[in-house]
Amino acid sequence: MGRKMRRRVKGSPFRLAATPGVQPNRSLFSFSSAPGLPTLRILNVLETITRSAEFLARKGVDSPRLQVELMLAQVLQLPRLKLYLNFDRTLEAGQLDQLRTMVKRRGDREPLQHILGTSCFCGLEFAVNPSVLIPRPETETLAQRAGEHLKRLAQHGEGKRFPVADLGTGSGCLAVTIAAESPQADVTAIDVSAEALAVARANIDRHQLAGRVKIVQSDLFRSVPPERFDLVVSNPPYIPTNVLAELQPEVRDHDPRAALDGGADGLNFYRRLAAESPAYMGTDATLMAEFGDDQENAVTTIFREAGWREDRIVADLSSKPRIIVARCPVT
Ligand SMILES: C[S@@+](CC[C@H](N)C(=O)[O-])C[C@H]1O[C@@H](n2cnc3c(N)ncnc32)[C@H](O)[C@@H]1O
C-alpha cells in the first residue's frame, strides 16, 4: 500500500529531486542573513517567477515554476494565465514581501494548498487547513462513481430522496461534490475530528449546500442517528503505521495523522466498515470505498468474508485498482 504515497514522492506534486540545470544564487535572488530565506530584489513579474522557481527547485520542490505562478497569481489577485500578459509589471514591496513569505513556506515543504488555503476537487474549490487531508485526484474517481450510481438510482425512483453517508469526510470534498452533482441525494458527512468537521462545514456553506449536507461527529456510525443509507462512500485512512515515516514531508508533516494511519497493516478501517456499516444501510444498498496500492486482495477478502457481495473493483485515472464497490449483506 505504501506505494500509493511513495508514488507521490516520485511524481507530482512533490518530487524530491532538484530540477537539472538550475544555477543557484543568481544575482537577483540572493539569501539574507536568515539561512535559506530568499531576498527578492526583483521588480517585475517574470524575474520574480524565474528566481523564485529556482529557489524552490533547489529546495527539491516539484513543478516549481507552476507553484510560484499560483502563489503570485493569488498575491496579485489575477488568474494565473494573466501573469503571462503582465511579465513586465512592477511588483510593489508589499506584494514581494507577501510572495517571499509564501515561497519560503513552500521551500520548507509546506503543501501549496495550505499556503493558498484552498484545493480543487472535481472542479470545485475547497478550503483546506492542517486539520484535513488535502483532497487527492484519485478520490475524484470515487466522487464520479458515486454520482453515476445515484443517477441510476434516480432514474428508477423519480422524486425519491436518497440518503448518502460519507464516512471520514475530512474537508467534505466527497460529501459536497456528491450533493452538488446529485440533486436527489441527502448527504450525512461524518468524521471523528471536530476540527475536520469545522472545515467541512465551511465548505458546505461555501457551496450553499447546508440544506442537503449535514455533519455528524462520530467514530464511524456510532453517534449517527439511526438511518438506512442507500449509499455509503469512504476514503478511509489506509497507510500502514510503519510506512508513515517514509512519506514525503508535505504529507508526513502536514496531513493529519488520523487521516493517514490505517493501523499496523493499513486495513483497520475496512474491517470496521465491513462489520459496522450494514446496520446503517438499506437492503441492497451500496458501499464504495477507496483503498491503497496493493490492498485490493486484502480489502476484497475482508468484505467477502463479512458476507458482502462484491460488485466490482474500479481503477483510478492511472489505471490502478482503487475503489471497491460492494453490496450490503442482509441484516
Ligand atoms: C483519508 S481522510 C479522507 C478525507 C476526505 N474524505 C477526502 O477524501 O479527502 C480520512 C478521514 O477519516 C477520518 N477518520 C479517521 N478515523 C475515523 C473514525 N474512526 N470515524 C470517523 N472518521 C474517521 C479522519 O479524521 C479523516 O478526516
User: Confidence band (pLDDT; 50, 70, 90) for 284?
Assistant: confident
| Range of lowest pLDDT (13-17, 162-166, 235-239) | 13-17
- By the 10 Å C-beta count (0-12 exposed, 13-18 middle, 19+ buried), 169 is classed as buried
Residue 20 has pLDDT above 80, yes or no: no
170 lines ligand 1 (CB under 6 A): yes
Query: Half-sphere exposure of residue 151, counting CA atoms within 13 Å on the CB side?
Result: 8
d(CA 173, CA 146): 13
Domain boundaries, the chain: 8-109, 130-327
Percentage helix, strand, coil for the chain under 3-state DSSP, each rounded to 5? 40, 20, 40
Distance 127 CA to ligand 1 centre (A): 16
When pLDDT is cut at 50, 70 and 90, the band that residue 6 belongs to is: very low
192 lines ligand 1 (CB under 6 A): yes
Backbone φ and ψ for 81, nearest 5 degrees, come out as -65, -25
Question: How large is the average pLDDT for residues 38-58?
Answer: 84
The Å distance, Cα 79 to ligand 1 centre, comes to 32
Pocket probe mutation, ligand 1, options 124, 142, 169, max atoms within 8 Å of Cβ = 169
Query: Cβ neighbours of residue 307 under 8 Å, at least 6 residues apart?
Result: 329
Average pLDDT over residues 242-259: 96
* Whether 294 contacts 235, CB under 8 Å: no
What angle is formed at CA 259 by the lines to CA 164 and CA 101, rounded to 5 degrees? 120
CA 44 to centroid of ligand 1, rounded, Å: 43
User: Which atom of ligand 1 lies closest to the CA of 196?
Assistant: 27
Q: Is the CB of 135 under 6 A from ligand 1?
A: yes
What CATH code is assigned to 130-327?
3.40.50.150
- Interval 186-232: pLDDT, tens: 999 999 999 999 999 999 999 999 999 999 999 999 999 999 999 99
* Å from CA of 167 to ligand 1 middle: 7
234 pocket-lining for ligand 1 (C-beta < 6 Å): no
Residue 156 has a pLDDT of 87
pTM: 0.88
**CB of residue 251 inside a 6 A radius of ligand 1:** no
Question: Does residue 279 register a pLDDT over 50?
Answer: yes
- Which residue lies with its CA nearest to atom 2 of ligand 1? 259
Which of 193, 203, 224, 271 should be mutated for ligand 1, with most atoms under 8 A from CB?
193
Residue 310 pLDDT: 78
In angstroms, rounded to a whole number, what is the distance separating the alpha carbons of residues 59 and 70?
17
Atom nearest to 168 CA in ligand 1: 12
Q: Rounded distance, CA 165 to CA 149, Å?
A: 14
Q: Is the pLDDT of residue 280 over 90?
A: yes
Closest CA to 109 of 249, 315, 252, 267: 249
Mean pLDDT of the chain: 88
Minimum-distance ligand 1 atom for the alpha carbon of 260: 1
Closest atom of ligand 1 to 193 CA is: 25
Give the span between the Cα atoms of 239 and 292, in whole angstroms: 8
